[in-house]
Structure 1
Amino acid sequence: MTDASSAQTQASADNISHPPGTSNSDSAFAAEASSTSVKRKVDDLGPMDSKLDARDDKRRKGTAPIKEEYLVKSDDIVEPRPPQDEVDDDAAEAFHHKDRQALGHNGKSKRREKKTGQNKARDFGSSRDQVGLCTSRAHHPEFSPDECKFGDKCKFEHDLRRYLQEHKRKDLTTFDGVCPVWQTKGRCPVGWKCRFVGSHSKEVERDDGRRELILVQDETRMAEYAATSVEEEGPGVANAITPQQRFDLTRRKVGTPKSDQFLKWLDTQVQGQRQRLEAGRPDRSHRNSSSPEPDPEQGAVNGDHKLDSRATFVDPPLRPSEKRRLYFGAETPVLAPLTTQGNLPFRRLCTSLGATFTYSEMAMSLPLMQGQKSEWALIKAHESEVQPPTFSLKGGKNIVYDYDQSKDLCFGAQIAANKPWLAIKATEILTTLLPKGLRVVDLNVGCPIDLVFRDGAGSALMDSPPKLEKMLRGMNLVSGETPVTVKIRTGTKDKHPTAQKLVERLVLGAGQTAGDPCGVAAITLHGRTRQQRYTRSADWDYISETAALIKNLNEKADGVADTIHEPDERDMPNGHKGSRHGKVFFIGNGDVYSHEHYYDHIEHAKVDGVMAARGALIKPWLFEEIASGQYIDKSSSERLSIIEKFCRYGLEAWGSDEMGVGQTRRFLLEWLSFACRYVPVGLLEYLPPNIQDRPPRYKGRDELETLMASDNYLDWIKLSEMFLGPAHKDFQFVPKHKSNAYEMEAEG
């Protein structure tokens, strides 16, 4: 099968027209139409809908403009498609936290959730052998296994031939019958349990006439592939901590000296502020310094107190200006942090298709500190993500002082926390255990999920600027050379945006902790409020205004004349050549679905970079379109090859045994729940396509294209069986979103 990057076809401008009266560049504005829902009237326009309405009366808002010949009709009436849910863009944020309810002390749910359009606490069944093979036999020749420590009490199979004939399903014939892991690594970590075991095993005759089953290793491939130090990991996996490190975390044996130092100083500052308030004296601690210094005008008590706090902070950590420099630009499209769908195989797929920077799924700080294996699995990256990015700077100019592309990476970790000490300690642990594996540590201040919000994390921090500033300042001081970034929303409540006030505080500092900027290297803004969610288009007008504000703050043109609030140049990240002041990069996020949207936002919103979420889930080759500057009309066979590539990457990441195949199938189906929304550009009457548009019933240009457009999860399973074989009899898949999800209220 051909690779996804081959045989690409540019959509012909003669066959696909733009709305009348618009140019190619202007038509990007026409893509912001909003879909409808029960809670929102059809006439209730989103921020960008009026632009579409004024430009094209023929294009129906909320409906994909499919050409007449591809529509499915019944009695000359176009059949409507069942309504779909307004799916979370970031994407299905915090699934492993969302699907479990917060519990009280008695173990019962704290509150009864409203009925929504989502299937929560989904059960995916089981994908296991009928009787498992004992680990003492799994990797050894038939006649020389290890001794089983459980002996006759062991519940697993010890007879290898009986296991292969009676308890293990037949080998898969996909991928030419060759194990993808063995093909890459030269050996298969799951041994006899592999669903392709026939490709790396054989039967040999011994001197005594007996025939023995043995596993085969390819010494040449093993030599070519550098073996990792953690044997449980798959091929090419980076950022995997060792079992000993995980054990030390569970026993609290991993120290956080920098965090302890800063938190002790922070407590001293808070106590000092309380004393000054009680004494009725003004707070004059917002000086132009990041370490506390005595102020003789504040009296002997407060002066001595600040001297004591300074004594505990003798050896300050790295300043933000000493960190590794970052760069974001039009040349560097970014894949958003995507929970569930943003797994390692999908990120690897997007990287192969042109994504420059990627992020981990959102990880909670406390489980990271406790060494929970499931949370650390989110931080794992493919080796292609921890390599220097390969983009070329526009014009060949290095606009950031001392930026070294060879020292940059592609992969960043995103964390969430509701208290400063959690975020700060988790950051120190991450950057200590993975000093060369993270481009940035990003703090999630945008997650809208109720469970996360009620705990005070995610978008709840938008309403607690002092706490957020303490978090970011502390993270910056303990992260070594790794920069710290933050992702926010426009606000928590609809029609009440607060992001711009927060941005000003993050860039300049508020003076309540140390008086200097907290040193964030980049800010990403998702153009929706928490309450609004995805019922309307992202507000790129607000993003544009925020970009202008940040530019003014970066250039010190915001009119702030009071030198007390003037930031210390040493605390500014990403310095410019010829300038004392640093640069805080600004990335826009929301509804990016084509190269036209991408470059329109770069040019008109004046953002430094653009982040794609749902657009990349629906068509991962969005990054190819951005690189080529044109629409790519993928054929059904080319799209199928992308699915094949994901399956291969999934087996390499999760294993080629029964459980690994089941895991790969589950996450493939999660992705296909988004990919089925793609309408080939060759079928569209007008461009650019709009991510909010939903198509009526239509038929593809061939049977496979029609199958890929199905919103029936049973058809997604058919697609998975083309590469992963028949699903296990106990495998289950419940779509995350119900068909009547349009009745769901926006949360908040």
Structure 2
Amino acid sequence: MAESPAGLTSQNWNPTQDQQQPTATSEQLIAKSIAPVKPQFLRPPPSRASQKDTTSSTVSDSNNDISKSINTNTTSVVAKEKKSKRQLKRERQQEKKSSVNLCPELAKTGDVNSCPYKNNCRFNHDLEAFKAQKPEDLEGECPFVNGEGSCCPYGLACRFYGTHKGRDGVRNGKKQISEINGLNKDVQKLLWKNKMKFLKADSVLKSLGLTGPGKSKVKKVDEEEVEKVVDDNDSHGTNDTNENGCGDGGNESAGKLDCAAEVLGGDDMDGVLTDEVRPQKKAKSAVEVNGCSGEEVNGLGIPEKDIENNCPLKTEPELVSDKLEVIADSVETDGSLKLHPREKKLIDFRGKLYLAPLTTVGNLPFRRVCKALGADVTCGEMAMCTNLLQGQASEWALLRRHSSEDLFGVQICGAYPDTVTRTVELIDQECTVDFIDINMGCPIDIVVNKGAGSSLLTKPMRMKSIIEATSGTVEKPITVKVRTGYFEGKSRIDSLIVDIGKWGASAVTIHGRSRQQRYSKLADWDYIYQCARKAPDSLQVLGNGDVFSFVDWNNHKSDCPELSSCMIARGALIKPWIFTEIKEQRHWDISSGERLNILKDYVRSGLEHWGSDTKGVETTRHFLLEWLSYTCRYVPVGLLDVIPQRLNWRPPSYYGRDDLETLMASDSAADWVRISEMLLGKVPDAFTFAPKHKSNAYDRAENG
């Protein structure tokens, strides 16, 4: 953090006139999208020599030997040595055997003989070697031992071991589990072996003509079982007709085509299947999955779902029989397997503050912070359907729900009706959620190139197939998130808004930008209003884009009463107290100390979620740094000449009213690391960090 001259704090220092450059007026700054900070808080511009040094430099902390390469103007990347899968596996096994990774059972009890695997255990059993290399305990108390009768699941490995006060080793101590939606191990094994049955999904897909006879590599249920369910559907009038509100009558054949009636779009599709089930793909590596999942899993830090409440499936025959009984009961009691959209349990989003699903930063600890600050509706990070169907623990971690999230949904993303529909059935069976959101607007290249996300905006028939099939499979409300269109100037949601309601969606969120815009330029709220006015009464429309104050919220609600609510995304990342501001209708000039307390709450929630051992602490630190790369864009209300701050304003370099506020305003990764050390202790040796998100890709060739 750059300090004020002569050792004075930034609160007492006021630059003299000869140090200040001629300042532009507030109107001129706003015209250039620069935040109009009061002149007395502005930093003097750096010299040319320092500018060259900071453009491509290595910032370091002399006390901690921290370094991070910052180079925003070059694109050269040092090529890393490519290692084989066998070599990577060998390195992971060796790492587990190192003294850093103590056996979890040994860590809990302190008894070398407590491990049931003995010499076959994958972890280290050298207790003395572990104690010798273990870092010093962190300040504060263990997040797991405050409740009555609770005990820390990390034992000796906990970084707050000194605060356990003899509670470790108590085998009957109960840990207070406040998270749900863990993947049952039996179900995960079925997914790994590709033996999971999806009776409801397959029957609905077949009734809509979205499957083919025996062409799929995916193991399907027996034809007789599917035929029986389909016959039941036909006898109760659940085919693709006008009666169920999801079909379009004479154009029934169009609904039975997956891709054939669409423009193939060419290069971004591996192959288009018309009447066969899309085969599941090979499990992706962590690098490939990282583009969308954004959350790592600490195997010890994520408590499993209660097995009794999860109703594990013991064998495949029992699985089939149990599901057939459930389907038979539903048909007998309800008279129909597929519910009419108006018969579904709907959620009223009107007037509710909706925290958007945010990749990487919108994790469970962050959602807990936003709930405490006034958010009404929360949604998990976007999860890829193919990864969920493969039983990947890192992807299922994105579906976890905290007990404080009273109105919670999950967001999934897929390219084909069969994968999305089976995922919806699986989530409905294994998780407790209030709604399921399907992302049809994600602009990330790795998603779009697979035919998912924004790519679906160019394929309305596939959108129809996905929405119809998913809404007909589960009773949970199905919501959809879209953008205005794929290319700028070619918006198309207004022409589909009526159909989206007919296909079975309960709500649609419209991000007021095209895929080509990514996150650049202002959102087109006039177009969102146009879509909201065209939408049928049964379809709730939510707007998304650039909501950064209660003034923005009020304006959108008053300009378009037909709008149900507004989804808040980056505004919550930069200042999560925006929910408090909207509910209290005020501009909160929050102090640096209050902001630090919010970060402390996040860290505590992170340790509860990812774990209090070394791995959990560093995972918490990583996601805290990702969040700090957004919070530094906030300019305190008391420093602005014009309020409220707009989301597209770029903060100039300025001094805060105290040193902590100045530190929080820094856009240097080294300063973000310093903040993390205030909360989580010193970083490990050779620690590096680079923010993950880069959304400045408007002019790239592949975006048109």
Q: TM-score of the superposition, structure 2-length normalised?
A: 0.70
- Could you say which residue in structure 1 is the equivalent of 2:137? 171
- Residue 601 of structure 1, aligned match among 531, 556, 559: 556
CA contact (8 A) 1:259 1:478 kept: yes
Amino acid across the alignment from 2:188: R
Within-5 A mapping of 1:495-574: 495-507=489-501, 517-550=502-535, 553-554=536-537
1:292 and 1:584 map into 2 onto residues whose CA distance is 13
1:647 and 1:56 map into 2 onto residues whose CA distance is 39
Within-5 A mapping of 1:197-596: 197-200=161-164, 202=166, 215=168, 227=176, 235-267=177-209, 287-290=241-244, 316-330=337-351, 332-385=352-405, 387=406, 410-434=407-431, 437-480=432-475, 482-507=476-501, 517-550=502-535, 553-554=536-537, 583-596=538-551
Q: Structure 1 residues 291, 679: closer, same or farther in 2, change over 3 A?
A: closer
- Residue 684 of structure 1, aligned match among 616, 629, 640: 640
- Could you say which residue in structure 1 is the equivalent of 2:216? none
Q: Structure 1 residues 737, 329: closer, same or farther in 2, change over 3 A?
A: closer
CA contact (8 A) 2:205 2:211 kept: no
Q: Structure 1 residues 135, 696: closer, same or farther in 2, change over 3 A?
A: closer
TM-superposed CA distance for 1:453, in Å, is 1.0
1:637 and 1:120 map into 2 onto residues whose CA distance is 43
1:353 and 1:448 map into 2 onto residues whose CA distance is 29
TM-superposed CA distance for 1:411, in Å, is 0.8
- Could you say which residue in structure 2 is the equivalent of 1:72? 43
Q: Structure 1 residues 67, 439: closer, same or farther in 2, change over 3 A?
A: same
Whether 1:654 and 2:613 are equivalent positions in the alignment is: no
2:111 and 2:702 map into 1 onto residues whose CA distance is 59
CA contact (8 A) 2:544 2:568 kept: yes
SS at match of 1:478: coil
Q: Deviations over 1:259-289 (max 9, x none)?
A: 1111112228999xxxxxxxxxxxxx98522
CA contact (8 A) 2:110 2:169 kept: no
- Residue 619 of structure 1, aligned match among 560, 566, 575: 575
SS at match of 1:384: coil
CA contact (8 A) 1:361 1:378 kept: yes
Q: Structure 1 residues 118, 286: closer, same or farther in 2, change over 3 A?
A: farther
CA contact (8 A) 2:550 2:578 kept: yes
- Could you say which residue in structure 2 is the equivalent of 1:557? none
2:79 and 2:507 map into 1 onto residues whose CA distance is 34
Amino acid across the alignment from 1:145: S
Amino acid across the alignment from 2:530: E
- Could you say which residue in structure 2 is the equivalent of 1:35? none
Q: Deviations over 1:643-664 (max 9, x none)?
A: 1111000000000000000100
CA contact (8 A) 2:484 2:491 kept: yes
> Please, which moves more after superposition, 184-193 or 528-537?
184-193
> Please, which moves more after superposition, 245-254 or 537-546?
245-254
Whether 1:189 and 2:153 are equivalent positions in the alignment is: yes
1:74 and 1:287 map into 2 onto residues whose CA distance is 68
TM-superposed CA distance for 1:545, in Å, is 1.1
- Structure 2 gaps, min length 5: 1-24, 56-73, 83-90, 214-238, 253-327
SS at match of 2:102: coil
TM-superposed CA distance for 1:133, in Å, is 1.6
Q: Deviations over 1:195-215 (max 9, x none)?
A: 11111154xxxxxxxxxxx82
Amino acid across the alignment from 1:600: N
1:535 and 1:344 map into 2 onto residues whose CA distance is 27
Name the % identity.
Answer: 39
Q: Deviations over 1:440-479 (max 9, x none)?
A: 1111010011121121110111111111111101101111
CA contact (8 A) 2:364 2:401 kept: yes
Q: Structure 1 residues 352, 416: closer, same or farther in 2, change over 3 A?
A: same
TM-superposed CA distance for 1:323, in Å, is 1.6
- Structure 1 gaps, min length 5: 1-52, 85-114, 203-213, 228-234, 272-284, 299-311, 388-409, 508-516, 555-582
2:202 and 2:610 map into 1 onto residues whose CA distance is 37
CA contact (8 A) 1:140 1:146 kept: no
TM-superposed CA distance for 1:740, in Å, is 9.9
Amino acid across the alignment from 1:534: Y
Q: Deviations over 1:307-351 (max 9, x none)?
A: xxxxx9995322222221210122x11011101011111111111
1:739 and 1:291 map into 2 onto residues whose CA distance is 39
1:200 and 1:503 map into 2 onto residues whose CA distance is 57
| Number of residues of Structure 1 aligned to a counterpart in Structure 2 | 542
SS at match of 2:208: helix
SS at match of 1:528: coil
CA contact (8 A) 1:119 1:735 kept: no
Amino acid across the alignment from 1:187: C
TM-superposed CA distance for 1:584, in Å, is 1.0
Q: Structure 1 residues 588, 373: closer, same or farther in 2, change over 3 A?
A: same
- Structure with the larger RCO, 1 or 2 (CA within 8 Å, 6+ apart): 1
- RMSD between aligned alpha carbons? 3.8
TM-superposed CA distance for 1:243, in Å, is 1.6
2:527 and 2:617 map into 1 onto residues whose CA distance is 44
SS at match of 1:427: helix
TM-superposed CA distance for 1:499, in Å, is 1.1
CA contact (8 A) 2:440 2:454 kept: yes
Q: Structure 1 residues 423, 72: closer, same or farther in 2, change over 3 A?
A: same
Q: Deviations over 1:615-644 (max 9, x none)?
A: 000000010101100011110010001111
- Could you say which residue in structure 1 is the equivalent of 2:125? 158
Q: Structure 1 residues 498, 117: closer, same or farther in 2, change over 3 A?
A: farther
Q: Structure 1 residues 675, 635: closer, same or farther in 2, change over 3 A?
A: same
Q: Structure 1 residues 119, 59: closer, same or farther in 2, change over 3 A?
A: farther
- Residue 60 of structure 1, aligned match among 31, 50, 54: 31
Q: Deviations over 1:569-590 (max 9, x none)?
A: xxxxxxxxxxxxxx21110000
SS at match of 2:31: coil
> Please, which moves more after superposition, 137-146 or 236-245?
137-146
Q: TM-score of the superposition, structure 1-length normalised?
A: 0.66
Amino acid across the alignment from 1:376: W
CA contact (8 A) 1:598 1:610 kept: yes
SS at match of 2:144: helix
SS at match of 2:558: helix
Q: Structure 1 residues 142, 484: closer, same or farther in 2, change over 3 A?
A: same
TM-superposed CA distance for 1:149, in Å, is 2.5
Q: Deviations over 1:227-262 (max 9, x none)?
A: 5xxxxxxx4111112222222222234321111111
Q: Structure 1 residues 617, 253: closer, same or farther in 2, change over 3 A?
A: same
Q: Deviations over 1:84-124 (max 9, x none)?
A: 9xxxxxxxxxxxxxxxxxxxxxxxxxxxxxx9799999x9x
Q: Structure 1 residues 190, 489: closer, same or farther in 2, change over 3 A?
A: same
Q: Structure 1 residues 719, 732: closer, same or farther in 2, change over 3 A?
A: same
2:695 and 2:183 map into 1 onto residues whose CA distance is 41
